[in-house]
Amino acid sequence: MTTTVGREPMTIGDPIRVAKTVAAQVLSAHAATVDREAVFPAESVAAIHEAGLLGAAVARRYGGAELSLNEQVGVAKELGRGCSASAMVWAMHQVQIACIARHHGDGTELAATLTRYVTDGTLVASITSEVGVGGSLRTSTAAVEFDGDRAALRKKAPTVSYGAHAGAYLVTARRRADADAGDQVAVLADASSSELVPTGPGWNPMGMRGTCSPAFTFNAVVPASHVLPAGFDTIAAATMVPHSHILWAAVWIGVAADAFKRAQTAVRKRGTTDVRLADAARSLTQLEALLADSVRRYAPIWDDPAALDTLGGPGLTMQFNDLKVLVSRGSVDVVELALEICGMAGYAEAGPLSVARHLRDLYSARLMIGNERLIATNTQLALLKRG
Ligand SMILES: Cc1cc2nc3c(=O)[nH]c(=O)nc-3n(C[C@H](O)[C@H](O)[C@H](O)COP(=O)(O)OP(=O)(O)OC[C@H]3O[C@@H](n4cnc5c(N)ncnc54)[C@H](O)[C@@H]3O)c2cc1C
């Protein structure tokens, strides 16, 4: 099916090089202000879209750039080097549009809507977490209520990244009012049919300040056809969990790699050697290797979601969970070493050797789907994993 509307999909010669240029010229120029003022990185997201990278993860028939998983990982790392918050906005958006592209079934209207979003550079935000169930991805309290050809939804969302800047939301909820907490669907809600009422104290966190992720009460009434036909269990297993853990890990490695580069500069300036630089390099190499192996294992499922039936299982789920847990911790370890190497120049909030923002941003990694929840899941799965 070709449903491309508006301008033709962009052909990007070398997407990783393009991302590197955009990160160096635009993202890094705005990163300090975005962080200090906790504002949405509008210029950076516009530059990413202008470069043709905002639709990176979806096929050309939806107006996307159809990048391979390895290319997406390369782009995520480069963007992460420039500005963690912008890179994370990019990564979260990729996961949402990939879920729609890969699980809309024969929904021609959903496909046309996705194409419009990708072509226009409309951001799609994620509303999976919920007050009362915290970050338990596979549990919802909110439920979809059908009325003829309309579906209504109300959800108390504790954290919605770029919620006020998105043009659409992919929201999880129970399939019906009488469905179990784990019997979930994903609903695509256009901003024009949604209402976000701010709740809580507003957004003033330690790091990832540019993601602008405060709490909202979310209300929407959408066409019933905007309830994705695949159950959310399938969407989560075949796309949302592996894709998000891979792209988040790539962003975090990119942030850590930028801190490593600053530590390298400090050591070169001193004209000495420093064993801590070798320690940091070794940690980065380990994280890169784990990420590369996770991409290798996910690639056949990325190419064909149905391959999950034969390739999925406890071992694969455990690997994606471990990837997230290990990179969320390991990237912090790298930046802590960079902080020690750079000393007070690293501790300063500004300057070429500062790694303060990197460290503050990366402390969010362990909370984005709390590590303890993933470890609890793996604790159960470890009993089933084949040796
Ligand atoms: C930068 C950033 C961006 C995010 N963006 C989004 C987004 O766009 N969309 C979205 O949906 N979510 C988003 N999240 C939310 C995230 O993925 C998690 O859902 C959220 O962090 C969970 O909230 P919490 O950490 O307060 O979790 P909670 O589940 O409330 O856990 C807090 C602590 O309480 C403990 N705890 C909880 N329940 C119990 C219990 N019954 N018994 C004992 N201990 C318990 C936990 O172990 C944990 O230590 C984002 C998070 C971050 C950091």
Q: Do residues 212 and 267 both lie within one domain?
A: no
Q: Report the number of distinct structural domains present in the chain.
A: 3
Mean per-residue pLDDT for 349-374? 97
The residue type at 61: R
Which stretch of DSSP H or E encloses residue 28? helix 28-37
Which ligand 1 atom is the nearest neighbour of the CA of 208? Answer: 1
What is the rounded average pLDDT of the residues 259-281?
98
Query: What is the value of pTM for the model shown?
Result: 0.96
As a whole number, the mean pLDDT across the chain is: 95
Q: What is the pLDDT of residue 106?
A: 83
Give me the pLDDT at residue 385, please: 84
pLDDT at 5: 37
- Residue 8 confidence (pLDDT) above 90: no
Q: What is the mean pLDDT of residues 121-142?
A: 94
Looking at the structure, do residues 302 and 329 belong to the same domain, yes or no? yes
- The strand pair at 124-127 and 168-174 is best described as parallel
Cα 314 to its chain centre, rounded Å, is 23
**8-state DSSP, 172:** E
Q: What are the φ/ψ torsions at residue 12 (nearest 5 degrees)? A: -110, 115
> In this model, does residue 10 exceed pLDDT 80?
no
Q: How far is the CA of 267 from the centre of ligand 1 (A)?
A: 38
The reply to whether 87 falls in a domain is yes
Q: Do residues 110 and 20 share a domain?
A: yes
**Which CATH number do you get for residue 47?**
1.10.540.10
Average pLDDT rounded to a whole number, residues 23-45: 98
Last residue of a domain, one of 122, 152, 186: 122
Q: Whose CA is closest to 67, among 51, 84, 45, 86?
A: 51
When pLDDT is cut at 50, 70 and 90, the band that residue 257 belongs to is: very high
Does residue 168 fall inside a structural domain? Answer: yes
User: What is the atom index within ligand 1 of the atom nearest the CA of 161?
Assistant: 8
Q: Of the residues 124, 161, 165, 377, which should be mutated to test ligand 1's pocket, given the most ligand atoms within 8 Å of the CB?
A: 161
| Nearest one of 134, 139, 155, 131 to 221, comparing CA atoms | 155
Average pLDDT over residues 2-17: 64
Q: Rounded distance, CA 161 to CA 368, Å?
A: 11
Pocket around ligand 1: residues whose beta carbon is below 6 Å from it? 92, 125-129, 134-135, 158-161, 208, 211, 213, 364, 367-370, 372
Nearest CA to ligand 1 atom 7: 160
Ligand 1 centroid vs 60 CA: distance in angstroms? 35
One domain for residues 291 and 334: yes
Flag whether pLDDT at 289 surpasses 60: yes
Q: Are residues 157 and 172 in the same domain?
A: yes
139 and 180 inside one domain: yes
Atom of ligand 1 nearest to the CA of 365: 53
pLDDT at 6: 41
Q: Strand 194-199: give its sheet, edge to edge.
A: 145-147, 150-157, 215-223, 194-199
Task: Answer yes or no: is pLDDT of 1 > 60.
Answer: no
Assess whether 98 and 133 both reside in one domain. Answer: no
Residue count (the chain):
387
- Whether 170 and 116 share a structural domain: no
Q: Of 105, 122, 139, which residue is a domain's last?
A: 122
Tell me the per-residue pLDDT of 153-167, one tens digit each, with 9 for 90 and over.
999 999 999 999 999
Q: Is 4 among the domain residues?
A: no
Report if residue 2 sits inside a domain. no
Q: In a mutational test of the pocket of ligand 1, which residue from 360, 368, 377 has the highest number of ligand atoms less than 8 Å from its CB?
A: 368
Q: Which residue is closest in CA terms to ligand 1's atom 24?
A: 134
pLDDT value at 2 more than 80: no
325 C-alpha to ligand 1 centroid (Å): 14
Cα of 137 from ligand 1 centre, angstroms: 10
Percent of the chain with pLDDT over 70: 97
Q: What is the pLDDT of residue 199?
A: 96
pLDDT reading at 7 higher than 90: no
Q: What is the pLDDT of residue 387?
A: 75
Does 116 lie in the same domain as 157?
Answer: no
| Domain annotation covers residue 8 | no
Any domain includes 138: yes
The alpha carbon of 368 and the centre of ligand 1 are apart by a number of angstroms equal to 7
Last residue of a domain, one of 73, 106, 122: 122
Which residue has its alpha carbon closest to ligand 1 atom 30?
134
Specify the pLDDT at position 107. 76
Residue 280 belongs to a domain with what CATH number? 1.20.140.10
Residues 84 and 160 placed together within one structural domain of the fold: no
Whether 3 is covered by a domain: the verdict is no
**Protein residue with its CA nearest to atom 41 in ligand 1:** 133
pLDDT at 265: 98
Residues 290, 73: contact at Cβ < 8 Å?
no
Atom of ligand 1 nearest to the CA of 137: 19
- Band (13; pLDDT cuts 50, 70, 90): confident
Mean pLDDT, to the nearest integer, of 68-91? 98
- Pair 190, 146: CB distance under 8 Å: no
Could you list the residue range(s) of the whole structural domain that residue 142 is in?
A: 125-226
Q: What is the pLDDT at residue 135?
A: 81
Q: Ligand 1 center to residue 164 CA distance, Å?
A: 20
Together in a domain, 96 and 134: no
Task: Compute, in angstroms, the gap from residue 97 CA to the centroid of ligand 1.
Answer: 23
CA dist 40 and 38 (Å) reads 7
Dump pLDDT digits (tens) for 176-224.
999 999 999 999 999 999 999 999 889 999 999 999 999 999 999 999 9
Of ligand 1's listed atoms, the one at least distance from the Cα of 369 is: 17
Say what the pLDDT of residue 200 is. 85
84 and 170 part of one domain = no
